[in-house]
Amino acid sequence: MNRYARQLVRKIETRRARIGICGLGYVGLPLAVEFARAGFRVLGIDIDREKVRGIRAGRSHVRDVPSAIIRDLVRKRLLTAREHYRDCGAMDAIFICVPTPLRKTRDPDVSYIVAALDQVARHLRPGQVVVLESTTYPGTTEEVLRPRLEAGGMRVGRDFFLAFSPERVDPGNRQFTTRNTPKIVGGVTPLCTDVAAQFYRQAVDTVHPVSCTQAAEMVKLLENTFRAVNIGLVNEIALMCERLSLDVWEIIDGAATKPFGFMPFYPGPGIGGHCIPLDPHYLSWKLRTLNYSARFIELASEVNGGMPAVVVRRSTALLNSKRKSVNGARVLVLGVAYKKDTNDVRESPALDVIELLSRQGALVTFHDPLVPFLHRDRGARMKAVQLTPAALRTADLIIIVTDHSAYDYATIVRHGQLILDTRNATRHVPSQSGNVHRL
């Protein structure tokens, strides 16, 4: 262990180490809170002025982080926020937690990482540790971060430390949080791994080191590719069962009785959120550069991406069974967040369902207890309607997309005339209800 590493360890043990978090979204803010609660002074950096103002005023913009916790940490001067990177040089550890979207060509867009990294590099000094948490393709830390950080003459593993640790945030999950979800850490050198792991052990219960940054990057992609492929499989099984006039839910329940060798997944209207719809494509893109086709990933994406169209097809058939045309039909969509008990609409299949139905002339409204309005194409804004018995009764078709705990399904079933339940969860409206149809 060199002198910079020893200095960092002493600062960690005495809580004198200062921590910077670049990006205060679903990943960065919970991580900042955990480090601050562990007794470290934390600086959050975000170019979004409203987020910064909110944090400094003790307000949280992330549903899973209560404002009361933010207010307490700000009052104790353990947490603050800035819109600029000028204070990065005073930080001992810098964690980069910025978005990594896909371009329309499904190529990784690392521009947010590069923008944050270039700012960090301007202020880099000996003895700092830099950790990337943003999901990306294997090789990003070595190929993108390392050259920029070493451009000033310092060397990784000697003058500063560099690692990758994939985020594992699950919005709305009350059981597994940043604190009790095991953390994967891989450094450019073994010393980089040790130093980064030392920081994480102060804020996370379990830290699992791996051999290198590429391994840590690959772990994240395996986790989400596993889910994407299995969701794609069960969605295709659902389409097969429809053709065979079988109840896919009965089939899954039967298979789930096997105590080994089977893990139940459930069909649904598609996949949403930042991770599952996007992350496997980082891996697929990387493998294309190596002349390898990730066929499972591409097929799963095709099946999952087609599920909103399946919902619309089923909706059209149900309306036809009641001698109603989809053109002019009043359709109420319940739940537009990509998963229950969160307000996150990123990549939500409900958005595609609404768009496809609207193109066919349906008069679509929506309700979500956590999403007051939606931004649609071309800047149009769609406001949520109130979920009243009258709204349920007057809808020609109700499509249940997201399984929010706030919903009283008995009331929905009692007042709804025709209901399509697409939720990919095990809890469902009783099948004996004649007005309820499953996907």
H or E stretch at 228: helix 213-243
Phi, psi of 141 (to 5 degrees): -60, -45
DSSP string, 140-196: HIIIIIHHHHHTTS--BTTTBEEEE------TT-SSS-TTTS-EEEEESSHHHHHHH
Q: pTM, whole model, 2 decimals?
A: 0.91
Give me the pLDDT at residue 428, please: 52
Residues paired with residue 352 on neighbouring β-strands, in sequence order: none
Give me the pLDDT at residue 425, please: 62
Residues paired with residue 45 on neighbouring β-strands, in sequence order: 22, 82
Do the beta carbons of residue 131 and residue 19 sit within 8 Å?
no
Token pair 């000697």 is found at 158
Q: How many Å apart are CA 284 and CA 292, to the nearest integer?
A: 8
Q: How many Å apart are CA 344 and CA 254, to the nearest integer?
A: 33
Do the beta carbons of residue 171 and residue 344 sit within 8 Å?
yes
Q: Helix, strand, or coil here: 367?
A: strand
Q: State the sign of the Cα–Cα–Cα–Cα dihedral 118, 121, 123, 127.
A: positive
Q: 346, exposed or middle or buried, with CB in 10 Å at 0-12, 13-18, 19+? A: middle
Give me the pLDDT at residue 166, please: 97
Residues paired with residue 363 on neighbouring β-strands, in sequence order: 330
Q: How many Å apart are CA 50 and CA 68, to the nearest integer?
A: 18
Length of the chain: 439
Q: State the sign of the Cα–Cα–Cα–Cα dihedral 238, 244, 250, 251.
A: negative
Q: Which domains does the chain have, with CATH numbers?
A: 3-211 (3.40.50.720), 229-438 (3.40.50.720)
Q: How many Å apart are CA 305 and CA 296, to the nearest integer?
A: 14
Residue 240: CB atoms within 10 A of its CB come to 12
**What is the full per-residue pLDDT of the chain (439 aa) written as tens digits?**
899 999 999 999 999 999 999 999 999 999 999 999 999 999 999 999 999 999 999 999 998 999 999 999 999 999 999 999 999 999 999 999 999 988 877 788 999 999 999 999 999 999 999 999 999 999 999 999 999 999 999 999 999 999 999 999 998 888 999 999 999 999 999 999 999 999 999 999 999 999 999 999 999 999 999 999 999 999 999 999 999 999 999 999 999 999 999 999 999 999 988 788 888 999 999 999 999 999 999 999 999 999 999 999 999 999 999 999 999 999 999 999 999 989 999 899 999 999 999 999 999 999 999 999 998 766 678 999 999 999 999 999 999 999 898 999 889 999 999 999 998 765 454 555 678 998 8
Question: CA end-to-end span of the chain, whole Å?
Answer: 58
Do the beta carbons of residue 221 and residue 140 sit within 8 Å?
no
- Closest CA relative to residue 303, chosen from 335, 268, 278: 268
Give CA torsion, residues 12, 24, 135, 185, to 10 deg. 10
Q: How many Å apart are CA 340 and CA 352, to the nearest integer?
A: 17
The residues, ordered by sequence, that sit 6+ positions from 358 with a Cβ below 8 Å of its Cβ are: 364
Residue 218: CB atoms within 10 A of its CB come to 21
Task: Supply the Cα-derived Rg of the chain in whole angstroms.
Answer: 24
Q: How many Å apart are CA 266 and CA 297, to the nearest integer?
A: 18
Does residue 192 carry a catalytic annotation?
A: no
Q: Which of 22, 88, 97, 275 is catalytic?
A: 275
Check residue 418 and give left, alpha or beta (phi > 0: left; psi -120 to 50: alpha).
Answer: beta
Q: How many Å apart are CA 96 and CA 21, to the nearest integer?
A: 6
Q: How many Å apart are CA 334 and CA 401, to the nearest integer?
A: 6
Check residue 55 and give left, alpha or beta (phi > 0: left; psi -120 to 50: alpha).
Answer: alpha
